[in-house]
């Protein structure tokens, strides 16, 4: 499964520890829906011919302009470029514009697709790669209904997905430049999106404790286990501590991981001994006394 974007990870973590504003909730919902849509799309790609190459969620730059490609598929001597939309509900096209059933005007994904395709074609020109591109907007949500959609191969509806991907079932020899191109794109892709808008949050306002791995309600400890009274699930204390380390490092990447800080983050729900044992097992310790902290093992 693809890695969750940093923005989404941060929203997930802070939503469990504080109430989000309406704007933050809308942003979180949009990020989560986008990620879930891309994961759903990839479930169709998984298991296709091994003669295909695939790259998901890639940010690139061309002529000083940044652009994101939700998914690239290399096969049949063609590059397939997809803009993925995970829209639930009812929509319709009228006069080349997209509307929600209620009449609200939406950003047209076909316009987004055109910009992305143009910039990608310019990038390929710079890389001296001359291969045809087929670009399409994919509506992946099975609860999406699109009325009056243009009769275009540039729109793939949820009911068309199974039939659409049948064309890739047959083995086809890859274009000789595709492997090198995929390697090059992975080399020049941006490590992080250029337009991340992380929410503001402060340590003091975040609820401390260990959220349940499954339902996110806060747990209690029973010996070497964390117990969630809401869903009844159990998790080992070591596993829970490692999750809290990941969470803390994601939210505070510049802060050192120390026993005292992690103890406070878990609201003293686990013991200092349990934290020390777990951290020493998975990390290296640097510094001495109060200045000691844990870092990733280099081995």
* pLDDT tens digits along 161-195: 999 998 887 767 787 889 999 999 999 999 888 88
Q: Smallest Cα–Cα separation from 43: which of 96, 85, 2? A: 2
Flag residues of the chain having pLDDT under 70.
1, 171, 291, 298-299
**116 contacts: CB under 8 Å, gap ≥ 6:** 67, 68, 69, 81, 83, 135
Question: Whole-angstrom Cα distance, residue 187 to residue 226?
Answer: 42
pLDDT of residue 235: 97
Question: Whole-angstrom Cα distance, residue 153 to residue 142?
Answer: 19
Judged on CB neighbours under 10 Å (0-12, 13-18, 19+), 11 is buried
Question: Whole-angstrom Cα distance, residue 168 to residue 179?
Answer: 18
pLDDT of residue 193: 87
105-106 sheet: strands from edge to edge: 105-106, 97-100, 89-94, 144-147
Question: Whole-angstrom Cα distance, residue 79 to residue 68?
Answer: 15
- Per DSSP, 289 falls in state G
Q: Smallest Cα–Cα separation from 117: which of 53, 184, 70, 76? A: 70
Q: Smallest Cα–Cα separation from 30: which of 92, 99, 107, 104? A: 107
pLDDT of residue 252: 96
Core vs surface per residue 66-75: b (16+ CB within 10 A) or e = ebebbbbbbb
Question: Whole-angstrom Cα distance, residue 55 to residue 73?
Answer: 7
pLDDT of residue 151: 80
pLDDT of residue 167: 85
Q: Smallest Cα–Cα separation from 117: which of 140, 101, 95, 133? A: 133
Domain ranges of the chain: 6-188, 208-296
């Amino acid at each position: 499964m693809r890695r969750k974007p940093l923005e989404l990870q941060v929203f997930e973590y802070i939503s469990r520890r504080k109430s989000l504003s309406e704007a933050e909730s809308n942003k979180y919902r949009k990020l989560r829906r986008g990620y879930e849509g891309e994961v759903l799309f990839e479930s169709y790609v998984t298991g296709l011919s091994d003669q295909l190459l695939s790259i998901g969620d890639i940010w690139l730059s061309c002529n000083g302009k940044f652009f994101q490609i939700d998914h690239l598929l290399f096969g049949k001597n063609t590059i397939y470029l997809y803009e993925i939309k995970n829209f639930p509900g009812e929509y319709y096209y009228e006069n080349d514009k997209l509307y929600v059933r209620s009449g609200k005007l939406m950003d047209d994904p076909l316009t987004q697709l055109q910009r992305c395709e143009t910039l990608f074609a310019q990038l390929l020109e710079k890389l001296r790669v001359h291969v045809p591109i087929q670009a399409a907007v994919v509506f992946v949500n099975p609860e999406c209904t699109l009325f009056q959609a243009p009769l275009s191969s540039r729109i793939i509806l949820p009911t068309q997905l199974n039939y659409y991907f049948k064309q890739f079932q047959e083995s086809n020899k890859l274009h000789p430049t595709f492997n090198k191109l995929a390697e090059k794109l992975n080399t020049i892709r941006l490590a992080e999106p250029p337009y991340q808008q992380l929410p503001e949050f402060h340590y003091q306002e975040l609820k401390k404790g260990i959220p349940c791995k499954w339902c996110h309600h806060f747990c209690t400890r029973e010996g070497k286990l964390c117990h969630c009274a809401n869903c009844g699930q159990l998790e080992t204390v070591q596993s829970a501590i490692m999750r809290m380390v990941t969470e803390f490092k994601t939210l505070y990447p510049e802060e050192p991981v120390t026993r005292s800080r992690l103890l406070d983050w878990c609201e003293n729900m686990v013991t200092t001994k349990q934290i020390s044992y777990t951290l020493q097992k998975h990390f290296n310790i640097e510094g001495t006394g109060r200045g000691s902290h844990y870092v990733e093992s280099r081995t």
